[in-house]
């Protein structure tokens, strides 16, 4: 039997090229992994079942699922499963960065978003998409019809990162645009003013949305291990600087660590789920993070 789990690796997905095929294979690999891991409790029946909660009617317990999993699940009807989610992706120029051997942050965000959208529509949830840089460039409102996935994937495959980013301004506009309460998933490197970004994230909470943040960074942006000499180029302004990374590594690593910790702490304080994701990591961690959040909504 084909091992679909290998498609959870970003470098493997990148070799496929077709985003629709990538999404399908990543989801199949993820579900295969769930069956063979301690996360089996998530179950592929999540579209039709949820775990038993105190107070649920016992007549709704699905005993066949209990026999397979040794866990209590109740049958969940369609009106209970409807979730409205919007995936917001930073498509500014900085997201195009990729160090040697890794895919770009933008490609990682697109592949992950394609898999999430496929997973959601398979769950009969509604999913929408927003792409932003200095403004909101694309917006597809949440829908649950199966054919809608093609529209989402088309936008993802036809967009390239460009322009400067104004994350806070764009996210504030998006918060005003999403009228009905739902789940907002944000994918960005958050290379912008920290305080204004955090204010924008809190804007979603003020409008009663659940928020799931994926802070996507290249491994070299985290550890700064770039060798003996490097030419640095700002991908948004075009400004260049030549320096010796080793001399900067300690102070850079400290600054990045503080920046990440500040965002993480502030998100935690406002009930925003924060997840740091490096582009070298398989997609299954992010997909599990989504399912964990999905069960709380």
The per-residue pLDDT for 245 is 56
Judge if 96 and 184 occupy the same domain.
yes
Judge if 100 and 75 occupy the same domain.
no
Token digits of residue 153: 């994937």
Residue 243 clears pLDDT 80, i.e. is over it: no
Task: Look at residue 23 and tell me if it is in a domain.
Answer: no
Judge if 56 and 92 occupy the same domain.
no
In terms of residue numbers, what domain contains 132? 82-296
Mean of pLDDT over the chain: 84
The per-residue pLDDT for 48 is 57
The model carries a pTM of 0.80
Contact 294/83 with Cβ under 8 angstroms?
yes
pLDDT digits over 193-207, tens only?
989 999 999 999 999
Residue 7 clears pLDDT 90, i.e. is over it: no
Judge if 75 and 146 occupy the same domain.
no
Judge if 121 and 196 occupy the same domain.
yes
Judge if 64 and 93 occupy the same domain.
no
The per-residue pLDDT for 44 is 39
The residue ranking higher by pLDDT, 40 or 239, is: 239
Task: Look at residue 27 and tell me if it is in a domain.
Answer: no
The residue ranking higher by pLDDT, 160 or 64, is: 160
Judge if 229 and 289 occupy the same domain.
yes
Task: Look at residue 18 and tell me if it is in a domain.
Answer: no
Judge if 154 and 164 occupy the same domain.
yes
Judge if 96 and 218 occupy the same domain.
yes
Contact 96/161 with Cβ under 8 angstroms?
yes
How many CB atoms neighbour CB 204 within 10 A? 25
pLDDT digits over 107-119, tens only?
999 999 999 999 9
165-179, 244-258, 271-285 — which is least confidently predicted?
244-258
Judge if 58 and 177 occupy the same domain.
no
> Which positions ≥6 away from 158 have C-beta within 8 Å?
none
The residue ranking higher by pLDDT, 294 or 147, is: 147
Tell me the CATH number at 274: 3.40.50.410
Share of the chain above pLDDT 90, in %: 57
Q: Which residues lie across from 276 on neighbouring strands?
A: 215
Task: Look at residue 17 and tell me if it is in a domain.
Answer: no
pLDDT digits over 70-95, tens only?
877 776 554 445 789 999 999 999 99
Last residue in a domain, options 53, 81, 109: 81
- Number of domains composing the chain: 2
């Amino acid at each position: 039997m084909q091992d679909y789990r290998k498609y959870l690796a970003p470098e493997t997905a990148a070799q496929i090229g077709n985003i629709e095929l990538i999404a399908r294979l990543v989801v199949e690999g993820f579900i295969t992994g769930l069956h063979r891991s301690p996360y089996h409790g998530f179950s592929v029946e999540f579209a039709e079942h949820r775990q038993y909660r105190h107070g649920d009617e016992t007549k709704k317990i699905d005993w066949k699922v209990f026999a397979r999993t040794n866990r209590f699940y109740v049958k969940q009807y369609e009106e209970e499963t409807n979730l409205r989610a919007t995936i917001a992706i930073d498509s500014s120029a900085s997201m195009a960065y990729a160090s040697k051997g890794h895919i770009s942050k933008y490609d990682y965000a697109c592949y992950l978003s394609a898999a999430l959208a496929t997973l959601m529509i398979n769950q009969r949830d509604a999913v929408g998409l927003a792409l932003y840089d200095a403004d909101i460039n694309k917006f597809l409102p949440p829908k649950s019809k199966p054919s809608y996935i093609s529209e989402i994937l088309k936008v993802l495959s036809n967009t390239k990162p460009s322009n400067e980013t104004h994350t806070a301004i764009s996210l504030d506009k998006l918060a005003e645009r999403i009228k009905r309460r739902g789940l907002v998933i944000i994918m960005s490197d958050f290379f912008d003013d920290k305080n204004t970004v955090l204010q924008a994230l809190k804007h979603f909470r003020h409008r009663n949305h659940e928020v799931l943040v994926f802070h996507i960074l290249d491994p070299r942006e985290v550890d700064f291990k770039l060798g003996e000499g490097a030419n640095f180029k700002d991908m948004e302004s075009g400004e260049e600087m030549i320096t010796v990374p080793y001399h900067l590594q300690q102070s850079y690593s400290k600054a990045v660590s503080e920046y990440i910790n500040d965002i993480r702490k502030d998100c935690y304080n406002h009930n925003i789920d924060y997840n740091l994701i490096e582009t070298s990591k398989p997609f299954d961690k992010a997909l599990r993070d989504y399912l964990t959040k999905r069960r709380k909504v």
